[in-house]
Amino acid sequence: MANELHLGMRRVGDLIDFNPDTPPVKVALEHSDRGVGVTLSWSTEDNPYASWFLRDDGFVRIPPRPKAPPAPKRVLFRDSHGSVLLVGCRARGFHSNVGGPGSGTMWARAAIMGVQGEIDFDNPHGLQTEIGGLRAWLRRTSWEETRRYEERVQEVTVKSLNLPELKVGEYEGLRLSIAFGWGVQQEGDGDRRILTDIARCSTRTDTPTSWSTHLKLHYAVRDLLILSRWQETLCKEVRALRLDDPLRTLDGVEHGEQWRGVVIPAKEESIPPRGHRAHLVEYDDLGTNGLLRWIELRDEFARAIDPVVSSIGLRGATANTLLAQTGPGLEALGYLLMVRDGTSKKAATATTLKKRFERILADLGDSLPFNGASWVDAAAAAYNGLKHANRREPDPVDVVNAWRECVLVTRAWVAIELGVPVDRVRERLAMDPQRHAYVKVD
């Protein structure tokens, strides 16, 4: 078996916590639905590993339990198949008898495959992610397919291509690019051979920085794809880079940079749309400059965009919850646009909800597939009805339609703000699935 950690896999080996005073211990490394973690055990409470979990159990000990170092943020797992560095560790969940044996689990933010020592992968120089639908949105492929037809004979030739990296630009010290690749996988001894077509969003920096800082740009790209076709999209970390972890051969000679494979706790896979769902914002509308402009816009209007984008993940939520999540985003958007226009923050704060909605509408022209003035009145009435108990409670169908239209308004505003012509936005929204209103069924 290779050095792998697929979902459902369990391995047993040694734990290295980089503390020379702790004794050797055997642990179980597992990637399950609960996450990625190592489970270790102890025989008595004075064991240093027990202190990682029992430090704050609330019991007064006589004599007191000896002080021990806190649980480390990084630990190394090693077995016959290879090594795995766990980063962002936290001791959560244990079972123990008073004064006796017990066991606990160290859960990790991520597992870095093949690392041999204590390297600070909590703060990498580079991070790569796979974002659902990114390659298709870019309209690039690492494969060329040729078909030849003759009488009763069909020949298919598939040729791999090495596409150049797409350099987007630099933002707040991070260089953003998109790397392409391909792969061939054989399913055991079966008859299936799988060709993979890869596009990975990549960030790099000269100074090591946190995962959250790297992911800020990756999530921005993901959010644009969500707004573009209103389809839930995952962003999954797959590789990380540290410049002090170069590729070395057995003789110790360095051979340049090394991107390490990353395993993160399993996430629920997004469900692809049925049939084709066109984008409201296409890459050809933006290019690399437009993509960088989106990241700037995403930062500038985060208070407005975050609530709208995050509402897509509220599966099974009520109509009231959806609008309560999204409404503040539209409020913020109207306010921020007024401030950008030159209105004082005090005056913008005092502006009514309808005036804020009307300010958003002023940027949209005739792009919407419904009457804009009616949206202002209906959305304001539904949202105010939810917020204020002294107002008439809105009908659930009116509420969910207000949420749907608020999302669509935000999507249209983003597209136009990024330079997509109004007539093109109007044509695309006229075919967008979100244009259809919800209807009450008696």
pLDDT at 316: 86
* 207 has a pLDDT exceeding 80: yes
Counting Cβ atoms within 10 Å, is residue 252 exposed (0-12), middle (13-18) or buried (19+)? exposed
- DSSP letter string, 59-117: ---SSPPPP-PPPPSEEEEEETTEEEEEES-EEEEEEE-TTS-EEEEEEESEEEET--S
111-125, 144-158, 339-353, 365-379: least confident range: 144-158
The pLDDT of residue 259 is 95
Cα–Cα nearest to 244, from 232, 228, 258, 226: 258
pLDDT at 146 exceeding the cut of 80: yes
Tokens representing 318 are 């009520």
Q: Which residue has the higher pLDDT, 89 or 56?
A: 89
Predicted confidence (pLDDT) per residue in 237-275, tens digit: 999 999 998 888 777 777 789 999 999 987 655 555 566
Residue 75: its pLDDT value, please? 95
Long-range contacts of 97-102 (CB under 8 A, 24+ apart): 98/59, 99/44, 99/45, 100/43, 100/44, 100/45, 101/41, 101/42, 101/43, 101/44, 102/41, 102/42, 102/45, 102/50, 102/53, 102/54
d(C-alpha 330, C-alpha 356), whole Å: 8
Task: Show the tokens assigned to 330.
Answer: 């539209």
Gap between the Cα atoms of 224 and 116, Å rounded: 37
pLDDT attached to residue 394:
86
Q: Report pLDDT for 46.
A: 79
- How many other C-beta atoms are found inside a 10 Å radius of the C-beta of residue 320? 17
Tens digit of each residue's pLDDT (9 = 90 or more) over 386-406? 888 888 888 899 999 999 999
Kindly write down the DSSP assignment for every residue of 18-53, as one continuous string.
Answer: S-TTSPP-EEEEEEETTEEEEEEEESSTTSHHHHHH
Using the predicted structure, report yes or no on whether residue 159 has a pLDDT greater than 80. Answer: yes
State yes or no: pLDDT of 289 exceeds 80.
yes
Residue range 153-176: average pLDDT? 92
**Does position 57 have pLDDT exceeding 60, yes or no?**
no
Q: For residue 359, give Cα distances in angstroms to 272, 334, 382, 424.
A: 35, 6, 18, 21
Given a cut of 80, whether residue 381 has pLDDT beyond it is yes
**Fold topology of 10-113:** Pnp Oxidase; Chain A (2.30.110)
Buried b (16+ CB within 10 A) or exposed e, 384-418: bbbeeeeeeebeeebbbbbbbbbbbbbbbbbbbeb
- Residue 125: DSSP 8-state: S
Predicted confidence at residue 331, as pLDDT, reads: 95
Instruction: Evaluate if residue 161 carries a pLDDT over 90.
Output: yes
Mean of pLDDT over the chain? 90
pLDDT of residue 51: 84
Decide which of 213 and 99 is more confident.
213
* pLDDT score, position 67: 67
Q: What is the mean pLDDT of residues 141-153?
A: 83
Residue 68 has pLDDT above 70, yes or no: no
Q: What confidence score (pLDDT) does residue 260 get? A: 96
pLDDT tens by residue, 296-352: 999 999 999 999 999 998 888 899 999 999 999 999 999 999 999 999 999 999 999
Q: Percentage of residues in the chain with pLDDT exceeding 70?
A: 93
Question: Where residue 94 falls among pLDDT bands split at 50, 70, 90?
Answer: confident
Instruction: Report residue 218 as tokens.
Output: 């990756």
Domain regions of the chain by residue span:
10-113, 126-234, 301-435
- Start-to-end CA distance of the chain, whole Å, equals 59
Task: State the pLDDT at residue 64.
Answer: 60
Contact, 228 vs 278, CB < 8 A? Answer: no
155 pLDDT tier (thresholds 50, 70, 90): confident
> Per mean pLDDT, which range of 26-30, 216-220, 267-271, 361-365 is the poorest?
267-271
pTM of the predicted protein model: 0.91
Asked whether the predicted pLDDT for residue 55 surpasses 70, the reply is no
CA gap 376, 383 in Å, rounded = 11
